[in-house]
Structure 1
Amino acid sequence: MKKSIVSTVFVLALTACAGRNAMNPDQRFNEMADRIMKQQQVPLYQAAWNAYLRSSQVSQSNAQHEAYLRALDQIQKGELSCDQVNWSILTRQNFWALKPHLSASACYQEKGKLALAQQHDAAVEFILNGILRSGDGEDVNSAYEVASLGDADDLIEFMGLRVIDSYGEFHAARQGLYYVVVAEDLETGQQKEIYLNNQRFIHAVVGAQYPFLGTFDGWNTKVLPELAEYGKYMKVPLGDAAFADGKTDEGFKHYMAAIAEGSHRARVRLAVQCLRKNLPQLSNDQCVQILVEAVEAQYVPAIILLAFAYESGFGVEKDVALSRELLASIGNRKPPGYSEFAMYKYWGDESIGKKNDAVANAYLSKSEAMGFPEAKLVALLLRMGKSPKDWETHLTELKKLGEDGKEVAAYLVGEFLYETNQKGTEEFNESEVWFKKAAEKGHPASFNVLGRAAQRGEYRAVNIQDANYYFTEAAIRFNPNSMLSLGYHAENGRGVVKDYAQAFNWYAMCHAQGNEICSHNLGRLFHYGFGVKVDYAIAFKLYMESAEKNYPKAFNGLGILYRDGEGVEKNIGKAIEYFQKAADRNDVYANYNLGVLFLLGRDVPRDLDKAKKYLLNAEGHPFVDVRLRELASIISVAEPEQSK
């Protein structure tokens, strides 16, 4: 991933914003913690969580956790009795960690101090219920929100699951980093991936404004290298990033370090790179052996990849019977149809090098017949095609999937009703119900549509505060369109205090995902010095990135820079060329700029006919009427002169 030209400036803005709203944070949090433990006017979970993140506890969490572990070790060795521990201080300093409260409760119960034990039980219940209500852990958009990774592991233990593997996983151009635990249900034996999100906590630890740390690869370049020593969780995403950047030797090193610590995920990731021939230092037999050790641990993703390799002959001698045997060995570790859907994705993946649509579709059909929800949705969408009539025919099936919890299906129902019906109709208003159903599962695009509807007053009266709430929920799930809207609202003070620094943050984050409008808007901030120091060179580069994706306003921005010689050598020919490209795309400001050039004869021969044409196409520009009157005045003077 190339390093952004504005990364240095961004880091300065990021740290400048981090200290806001920090008045008496420790006092506020301690007051809430007391109310939680004493069960008196118990605060809302989100309010207490936010107060905790603003407190000094966060930056001291690692040291305080070590203090708890030392006390526990002394108790276990008999060097200290449990009632000699100052649990009041130790649990307050580790308030959001479950284990210290449980240790305190056990000690107080043993000593007959039941009232004190109940206070810590209340804290555990408050924290645990709050985490479980923060999501469902099924994917990144509905991940459980936790503090430290140790707290995440405690949560898994409370859920009655056995950890098989854990790893970090990047999302959204490395702007998001999630913690994934592969765990086994001790009752059913089923393996599941549980997504956990501690990004707010890490932002608080490093003193960065949430959620901007990942912009310009901040996780990969600032956080993970410092934390990689803490285990395989950090090493796996570092390996992923290195291979994505073509740094195969570095990626190999990170994966092997994670494998040495028992990472099954690293084995699968390394085997894929190996089978793709990205690691010439390893033979096919070595690739398979790397995978086999994860298969022996009954790690389902490894079993499926090895089954695909044997069925396709990918890096190994083809053996369909062995492939079937491997898939059958998964048994009840995954829901019916899961393995078949995974095979469908492998056979349909061009990057693997063995793409076969016929085999892929056969697996998809089998998975659908077995009732696997993702397969049912994909198969239905393939049958529906793009025609509104086809969608209407299958809408009942799509609604059923949405009602059964598939948020993508709920979103698509909402989108169909929204796009195919007039505002104010019953069907149009029904779309809101479906968008909200998808949003309950954390679906980013649904939050964005709800924000846009509130902004436009499509379901009820315009409400910019509601719009900003929905846009924020989408943006923290890395939806670029919502980042753009929040940046625009911050820049123009829509529903919030006008704040160029915040506009910069959202535009920068959105630009990092490749959104051409955000690239232009960020360039405009540098061009005119809105919230940042004027830098024409950076403005030029950002405009150019946006123009490469044919955004009209970016062409106009380039035209202005070339016209005025800002950041580039003045070149009126290039200025006109870029203005024309924007004008051809109906940009009002470019038409105005061309009209003024020819009206005034600025660096070009005066041409009143061209001036009139462009100014008439600039309707909506705040000064176009003034220029048209000026043009009319010049023409009225010129006509008598011509008649003489």
Structure 2
Amino acid sequence: MKKILFTPIIYLLASCATQTTVEPGDSQIRLLTEQVASAPDTVAYEDFWVAYLESQQPVNNIAARDRYQTEMAAIESGQKSCEAVDWKAVANNNILSLMPHLTAAECYESVGQLEAANYHKNLFEFIATGMLSGRNGEYNYSAFEVASWADAEDLLTISGYEIIDSYIEFANSRNAIYRVYNVREVGGYQVSKIYFDNARFLHRLLAIRYPFAGTSDQLYTDVIQILAQTDYAARHAEGIVFHAEGQYPQAEQAYLDAIVMGSISANISLGRLCLSGKTEKFALNECAQLFVAAAELGLEEAKVYLAYMAFMGLGIESDTDLATALLSSAEQHLKKGQAEYELYSLFASEEFTSVNEVRAEQFLQASANKNYPMAYFTQAIGNLEQNNYYQFEQLIQKASNSGFSPAQFFYASYLLEEKKEISEGMALLNEAAVAGNPPALYERGRIAQFGAHGQPKDMSRSIRDYQAAAYRNHLPAQLKMGVLHSKEVITDANAEIAYAWYLLCGRAGNLECITNMGYSAEHGYGVEQSPAHAAELYRLAAAEGSAISNARLAGLYETGSGVEKDLEQAIHYYTQAAESGLANAMNKLGLMYLDTNNAISDYSRALYWFERAANQNSKYGYFNQARMYEQGLGVEVNLDRAMSLYEEASQRGHGMASLRIAEAYSQGESVDKNLDQVLHYLKLATEQSDNLQLKQMLEDCADTKDCNVSHLKQFLSGLSQE
């Protein structure tokens, strides 16, 4: 898939990079820095962020951090007093780094230079508040946004967390990466995960328009693989990629390297590989030692794996007492119900052995008994699938009331679509969207676009929500952003950016995105025109079941565009699309069989497919049947039947059908002449065709009350050329 999708990417990235070139100079960020230092409430944090990204500071991030470390070393060794440091130069050259501002503020406060202290204190509080605002770090879609990962570690340290270790989490076929920190509050017991996102910073360094680095896999090749030489989390991430691609020996080595470099999480990844029987250096009875190592170093989730192994007798002797003790120990350091839910997930999975439904249900209920939101949500979905609506509502309400945004979105959709409780549904949807839940943002955008559920239309709001969901890796939202650019709905719409959105979600396997990539390649929209490449893309999506791609590939075979003309292949792919329910393909089949110039001409098959299309409420299906009955193509001439079918097509918006009925009333063909009916159907035809010439002709008819055959022929001729 990647080879097919990447073919046009060099052209695309070159154009995107050109659009994001940043001229040297930090005047805007320095101006805003001084404004924040004196009046922080007058600056929007997002504006500050954008100015930072447009400056040279991201490029100089490492050098600026090194300077800070050098100054700190000099202070700690007694070579320099803290007030002798030019803190404005040190801190403001890497403005989003918190530690220099905090150190400067503490230094100046200690020597009584309060004005200088307040300068850095205002900057520190503004940046820290901006980083934390509107996000909670619990999921990738609510990750805290930082510049460098070092800034993330500073924020955690300042916030009172002990960092156990960290790892990289990929999203959507490596289109996005997040750094996840396993942390414990200093002096506390609970272990949790906190997500950080520095995608905009990385795109600035790569000189690629955000968020499209993933379209060429550069987040992996130009970030992860380079950092893997020195960063244990990056080397661990390489192992995860090898593991996912079935390169198990390489995965095992990468995990081992990461462990040696200091990764604790890599022990769990290697343990999972071991339990799957895919390691060369570890036998099944040696897997436990990897989880033990992770547990001893502070990762409580490792105890859940050990409990699972003890319950199942997997690699160790079955021991229910040991399993219970391990689970109890993990419970003390994780969120209430989390350990049981993770154990449920293992029993419900076939990753290591067959599913144990009894154990899975036992621990899912145990998790729910401790009010764990994901357990309620999982149970709610299970009850909905079994049509247990009362239980579903009870459970989804509990999950939603806990603030779990996926449950809030799901319940909001249920209230809006099924219960028609609009006020409560919209309130819940808004709550989930504010939390950053991508499906909720997308749905709120859809409602604003179309004015659904009685809400006012607001295209600006809609675009903001679609974009926010797209940035959070929501595939339908990325598709929508591409469509909005393609249709020039967005200000500064750009065909190349439309294609980039399609490519981003296409790499993640979205069939509509791949289909739209094919359409763009076929017609040269935002990418070099190549019907041959379009055929490859259509074939890729068609093989996965895309009806539209089947139909478009059929069209290429029918015309010989990008492929050798082959009517049998066209019939094959149109049939695939038609059997998937695509009415357009049914009509295409009918037209091919109707064409007497084709060797495959077959009136009975043509009628069959037109009837199938009409059953899908297709105006073309009705219209084409009407033509056959009117002209006696494979059937006896039946003008009454033809007029009835034209009427069905007209009611569904077919302009030619309306025009044909008008002509019939004008000439008295199988109906009595009726000028009022002529004018009625001419008006319909004009509205349906949206042809300005026809509208003028209709006005002439209305004025003169005389619509003769010659007029109608003009109508027919004009409409047929549209």
Q: Which residue of 2 aligns with 1:16?
A: 15
- How far the C-alpha of 1:296 sits from its partner, in A, is 1.9
- Specify the structure having the higher radius of gyration (Cα): 2
- Distance across 2 between alignment mates of 1:372 and 1:242: 33
With over 3 angstroms needed to count, the CA separation of the structure-2 counterparts of 1:573 and 1:135, relative to structure 1, is same
Q: Which structure 2 residues correspond to residues 100-119 of structure 1 after superposition, within 5 A? A: 100-119=100-119
With over 3 angstroms needed to count, the CA separation of the structure-2 counterparts of 1:437 and 1:566, relative to structure 1, is same
Q: Which residue of 1 aligns with 2:450?
A: 456
With over 3 angstroms needed to count, the CA separation of the structure-2 counterparts of 1:534 and 1:106, relative to structure 1, is same
With over 3 angstroms needed to count, the CA separation of the structure-2 counterparts of 1:289 and 1:630, relative to structure 1, is closer
Q: Which residue of 2 aligns with 1:437?
A: 431
Q: Which structure 2 residues correspond to residues 51-66 of structure 1 after superposition, within 5 A? A: 51-66=51-66
With over 3 angstroms needed to count, the CA separation of the structure-2 counterparts of 1:537 and 1:52, relative to structure 1, is same
- Distance across 2 between alignment mates of 1:634 and 1:222: 66
- Distance across 1 between alignment mates of 2:47 and 2:579: 51
Q: Which residue of 2 aligns with 1:379?
A: 379
2:455 corresponds to which letter in structure 1? R
Q: Which residue of 2 aligns with 1:561?
A: 556
1:408 corresponds to which letter in structure 2? P
Q: Which residue of 2 aligns with 1:6?
A: 5
Q: Which structure 2 residues correspond to residues 1-150 of structure 1 after superposition, within 5 A? A: 3-20=2-19, 26-39=26-39, 42-150=42-150
Contact kept, 8 Å, 1:15 with 1:209, in 2: the verdict is no
| Secondary structure of the corresponding residue to residue 251 of structure 1 | helix
- How far the C-alpha of 1:430 sits from its partner, in A, is 3.0
Q: Which structure 2 residues correspond to residues 296-445 of structure 1 after superposition, within 5 A? A: 296-330=296-330, 332-387=332-387, 390-392=388-390, 394-421=392-419, 427-445=421-439
- Distance across 1 between alignment mates of 2:217 and 2:20: 26
Provide the aligned C-alpha RMSD in A: 3.0
- How far the C-alpha of 1:320 sits from its partner, in A, is 2.2
With over 3 angstroms needed to count, the CA separation of the structure-2 counterparts of 1:421 and 1:287, relative to structure 1, is closer
Residue 517 of structure 1, aligned match among 505, 512, 516? 512
1:465 corresponds to which letter in structure 2? S
Q: Which residue of 2 aligns with 1:283?
A: 283
Q: Deviations over 1:102-142 (max 9, x none)?
A: 22223323443211111100011001111111410111121
1:540 partnered with 2:535: yes
With over 3 angstroms needed to count, the CA separation of the structure-2 counterparts of 1:625 and 1:430, relative to structure 1, is same
Which moves more between the two structures, 287-296 or 504-513? 287-296
With over 3 angstroms needed to count, the CA separation of the structure-2 counterparts of 1:21 and 1:545, relative to structure 1, is closer
- Distance across 2 between alignment mates of 1:100 and 1:553: 56
Contact kept, 8 Å, 1:596 with 1:627, in 2: the verdict is no
- Distance across 2 between alignment mates of 1:345 and 1:267: 19
2:12 corresponds to which letter in structure 1? A
Q: Which structure 2 residues correspond to residues 470-509 of structure 1 after superposition, within 5 A? A: 470-509=465-504
- Distance across 2 between alignment mates of 1:55 and 1:631: 71
- How far the C-alpha of 1:38 sits from its partner, in A, is 1.6
- Distance across 2 between alignment mates of 1:62 and 1:270: 32
With over 3 angstroms needed to count, the CA separation of the structure-2 counterparts of 1:348 and 1:597, relative to structure 1, is closer
Q: Deviations over 1:582-641 (max 9, x none)?
A: 34555455456456656665554767787788789599899x999999998999xxx9xx
| Secondary structure of the corresponding residue to residue 177 of structure 2 | strand
Q: Which structure 2 residues correspond to residues 609-620 of structure 1 after superposition, within 5 A? A: none
Contact kept, 8 Å, 1:216 with 1:512, in 2: the verdict is no
Contact kept, 8 Å, 2:75 with 2:82, in 1: the verdict is yes
- Distance across 2 between alignment mates of 1:341 and 1:608: 61
After TM superposition, the score normalised by the length of structure 1 is 0.90
Q: Which residue of 1 aligns with 2:545?
A: 550
1:62 corresponds to which letter in structure 2? I
Gaps of 5+ in 1: 640-644
With over 3 angstroms needed to count, the CA separation of the structure-2 counterparts of 1:167 and 1:21, relative to structure 1, is closer
- How far the C-alpha of 1:4 sits from its partner, in A, is 3.6
- How far the C-alpha of 1:519 sits from its partner, in A, is 1.1
With over 3 angstroms needed to count, the CA separation of the structure-2 counterparts of 1:77 and 1:581, relative to structure 1, is same
Between Structure 1 and Structure 2, how many residues are aligned? 630
Which moves more between the two structures, 528-537 or 574-583? 574-583
| Secondary structure of the corresponding residue to residue 332 of structure 2 | helix
| Secondary structure of the corresponding residue to residue 497 of structure 1 | coil
Q: Deviations over 1:181-212 (max 9, x none)?
A: 11111243111111111112111111122222
1:155 corresponds to which letter in structure 2? L
Contact kept, 8 Å, 2:252 with 2:273, in 1: the verdict is no
Q: Which residue of 1 aligns with 2:181?
A: 181
Contact kept, 8 Å, 1:411 with 1:438, in 2: the verdict is yes
- How far the C-alpha of 1:179 sits from its partner, in A, is 0.8
- How far the C-alpha of 1:541 sits from its partner, in A, is 1.5
Gaps of 5+ in 2: 638-722
After TM superposition, the score normalised by the length of structure 2 is 0.81
Contact kept, 8 Å, 1:490 with 1:500, in 2: the verdict is yes
| Secondary structure of the corresponding residue to residue 352 of structure 1 | coil
With over 3 angstroms needed to count, the CA separation of the structure-2 counterparts of 1:602 and 1:94, relative to structure 1, is farther
Contact kept, 8 Å, 2:5 with 2:537, in 1: the verdict is no
Contact kept, 8 Å, 1:131 with 1:146, in 2: the verdict is yes
- Identity of matched residues, %: 28
| Secondary structure of the corresponding residue to residue 328 of structure 2 | helix
Q: Deviations over 1:258-311 (max 9, x none)?
A: 111221110011011112110132123432222222222232011221122122
Contact kept, 8 Å, 1:385 with 1:391, in 2: the verdict is no
Which moves more between the two structures, 191-200 or 105-114? 105-114
- Distance across 2 between alignment mates of 1:332 and 1:475: 37
| Secondary structure of the corresponding residue to residue 330 of structure 1 | helix
Which moves more between the two structures, 393-402 or 115-124? 393-402
2:150 corresponds to which letter in structure 1? G
- Distance across 1 between alignment mates of 2:331 and 2:493: 58
| Secondary structure of the corresponding residue to residue 195 of structure 2 | strand
Contact kept, 8 Å, 2:557 with 2:566, in 1: the verdict is yes
Contact kept, 8 Å, 2:178 with 2:198, in 1: the verdict is yes
Contact kept, 8 Å, 2:444 with 2:462, in 1: the verdict is yes
Contact kept, 8 Å, 1:337 with 1:367, in 2: the verdict is yes
Which moves more between the two structures, 54-63 or 375-384? 375-384
- Distance across 2 between alignment mates of 1:54 and 1:631: 67
Q: Which residue of 1 aligns with 2:204?
A: 204
With over 3 angstroms needed to count, the CA separation of the structure-2 counterparts of 1:396 and 1:359, relative to structure 1, is closer
1:307 corresponds to which letter in structure 2? A
- Distance across 1 between alignment mates of 2:128 and 2:542: 49
2:30 corresponds to which letter in structure 1? N
